Chains A and B, each alone.
Chain A
Amino acid sequence: MVGEISIKDVHKKFPNTDPSKEDIVALNGFSLDIKPGSFVSLIGPSGCGKSTLLRIIGGLDRATKGELYIDDKEIRKPGSDRGFAFQGSNLFPWLTVEKNIAFGLKARHIYKEQKASVQEFIKLVGLEGFEKSFPHQLSGGMQQRASLARALVGHPSVLLLDEPLGALDAFTRMNLQDEIIEIWKKHNMTMVMVTHDVDEAIYMSDQVVVMSARPSKVEAIIDINLPRPRARAQDTFQEYRTKILNVLNLGGKVDEVEYYL
């Protein structure tokens, strides 16, 4: 099975905007192995470098130090083995839904051979009948669906999701969580998702990686041993919740709660 990611001692520094000050250390010796076909969430306080890590896996940024492999190939730049779903939908506003989804196939010059998968993914995300619509004519949830289809159309073995549902209302969000799980099951791919939402992480993942504040490292890896399909209103759900919040130091006494999330 493909879609194995291994991250070894990754460091990432950004130059400070004020050059007299020291560089900002976003990741300081981060290591993690992600099993092929698993669903892993990265969670942690704002600015903990989880998005940075995802971008490095996606090949959008380079690590300052350390090594990353996907199926034993070193990651240097974006590749067709990884799909990337960005925060917000970020569809190209000048292209119709259909053309947005086909963009990757055309850019890689495989559109002729794989034309059929455009329709397949439009169907998968339930956007039939909206092929010729422009992004601004769609609701937020539909835009996000189209964006997922665009990331998936090249059949990547890993899908990287950067807070994909952050901008949506609670109900659309829950629907899309279920749909992403369906897609994951159907296509047997590895999912790595950055999220702010503890419940979302527990509901969707096999494994929740809790990261500490900058410079960040893995604080805890919590396996979610809940049978699927999962129910949001479950007692064990609450246990995981408490566990994660405690790792983040947010589970403490009521008068000490700090709102990072």
Chain B
Amino acid sequence: MKKKLFTVLKLLLPFIAIAISILVYYQAADNGKQKKTAHPYYLFFLGVLGAVILLEILIGLFNEKIRKRIIHKAPFLTGVIVFLLLLNYVTTKTTLLPTLYFPSLDRIVGLLFESRVFLLKNVGDSLKLLATGFLWGAVIGFLTGLMLGYFKVVGYWLNPITKIIGPIPTTAWIPLALSTFPTTHGANVFLIAFAVWFPVTLMTSSGIQSISNVNFEVSRTLGASTIYQIIHVAIPAAMPSIFLGVFYGTVSSFATLMAVEMNGNSSGIGWYINWQKSVMLYDGVYAGLIIIAVICSLTLTILFKVRDRVLTWQKGVIKW
């Protein structure tokens, strides 16, 4: 009985926090320095958040899994709402922070909503560039890593070259790439591909080299040819390491994407942030950062989901 009451209280917390936020929004005196927005966007956001929580609670009445999740998440979500409340209080009700660099939540949320078409177009451009560069880098990186790891002769000739060229930070290539490639787009794809290529090559080749020799001996006694051995022993055995390389590559591709978009590009989220900064519109900068955070964490989530599927056999072998 007591436990049930406690759970109900826990689930009420986010709504109490939202109520307090609304109260503060309307009742506390404004500092009068923030530009007013057409609508109270921050409250709209809280409304949407509240509706989602409510919906989950309702589904949770019938679904055990969702119920457990929302009960588990309720205090955290409350924390988020309280944090936003404090942020909004400091930026709109006090003069503690310079208004220029710390726009109100109304303005940031409002911008995300009002410029959504333009922002989406830039998101699309960024994603297209990222995907193209990533695919090139991952495929070429995988193939070079495979050759380096499996064939000793290739390793002998190419390992030193890889080890000298690979660690050069991608951004150091920007000036050269921009001047040698016929198009900026080509240079951008190359730079992102390069950022992905190195970690994927390195981790693929090291993954293959650290496969215990007995795996290859077993497959030889079972009649596997070299090609069969590469496809059915070397690659699957090195897969955990290859995934690690892809993970490092993904992270460094984000960094490179921002670097190339902020240098000589005319579209994309990185360009947008830079442009907004140069015209002193910091609400745009924050909006851009929020979008990037969402894109990057979504990409990583997808990557981890793929890994979970491909590497089911690793569960119980390696902890993650």
Contact = CB atoms under 8 A, between A and B. Distances in A.
Interface of A: 58-60, 77-80, 82-84, 86, 90, 92-95, 103-104, 106-108, 134, 136-137, 150-151, 154
A108 B223 contact: yes
B214 A107 contact: no
Most buried by A among B220, B222, B233: B222
A106 B297 CA distance: 40
Contacts of A137: 316
Contact of B220 (A78, A150, A151): A78
B237 A107 contact: no
A205 to B, nearest CB: 22
Contact of A94 (B222, B224, B236): B236
Contacts of A58: 221
Given A134-B313, A136-B316, A90 B223 contact: no
Contacts, number: 66
Nearest to A156: B221
Contacts of B222: 78, 103-104, 107-108, 150-151, 154
B228 A86 contact: no
Given A86-B214, A103-B232, A94 B313 contact: yes
Contacts of B313: 93-95, 134, 136
Contacts of B221: 58-60, 78, 82-84, 151
Given A86-B217, A90-B214, A90-B218, A78 B223 contact: yes
A203 to B, nearest CB: 26
Contacts of B292: none
A108 B222 CA distance: 8
Nearest to B312: A134
Interface of B: 214-215, 217-225, 228, 232-233, 236-237, 239, 312-314, 316-317
A-B pairs, top 8 by smallest CB distance, nearest first, are A104-B222, A84-B221, A107-B224, A108-B223, A94-B236, A94-B313, A78-B221, A136-B316
Contacts of B312: 134
Nearest to B235: A94
Nearest to B222: A104
A154 B223 CA distance: 10
SS of A interface (majority): loop
A77 B223 CA distance: 10
A84 B220 CA distance: 10
B220 A92 contact: no
B168 to A, nearest CB: 34
A108 B317 CA distance: 29
Contacts of A103: 219, 222, 224, 232
Nearest to A135: B313
A79 B221 CA distance: 7
A59 B221 CA distance: 8
Nearest to A79: B223
Contacts of A60: 217, 220-221
Contacts of A78: 220-223
A58 B237 CA distance: 24
A176 B224 CA distance: 28
A53 to B, nearest CB: 15
B233 A92 contact: yes
15 contacts: A77-B220, A78-B222, A86-B217, A92-B218, A92-B233, A93-B314, A94-B236, A94-B237, A94-B313, A104-B222, A104-B223, A107-B222, A107-B225, A107-B228, A150-B222
A137 B215 CA distance: 19
Contact of B223 (A86, A93, A107): A107
Nearest to B236: A94
Contact of A92 (B217, B228, B236, B316): B236
Nearest to B311: A94
Contacts of A106: 232
A136 B318 CA distance: 11
A106 B224 CA distance: 9
Which of B214, B221, B225: most chain A CB closer than 10 A?
B221
B218 A107 contact: no
Given A134-B316, A150-B222, 12 more contacts: A58-B221, A60-B220, A78-B222, A84-B217, A92-B233, A94-B237, A103-B222, A107-B222, A107-B225, A134-B313, A136-B313, A154-B222
Given A103-B232, A134-B313, A136-B317, A90 B219 contact: no
| Interface-centre pick from B217, B223, B232, B317 (highest chain A CB count, 10 A) | B223
A77 B314 CA distance: 32
A93 B219 contact: no
B250 to A, nearest CB: 23
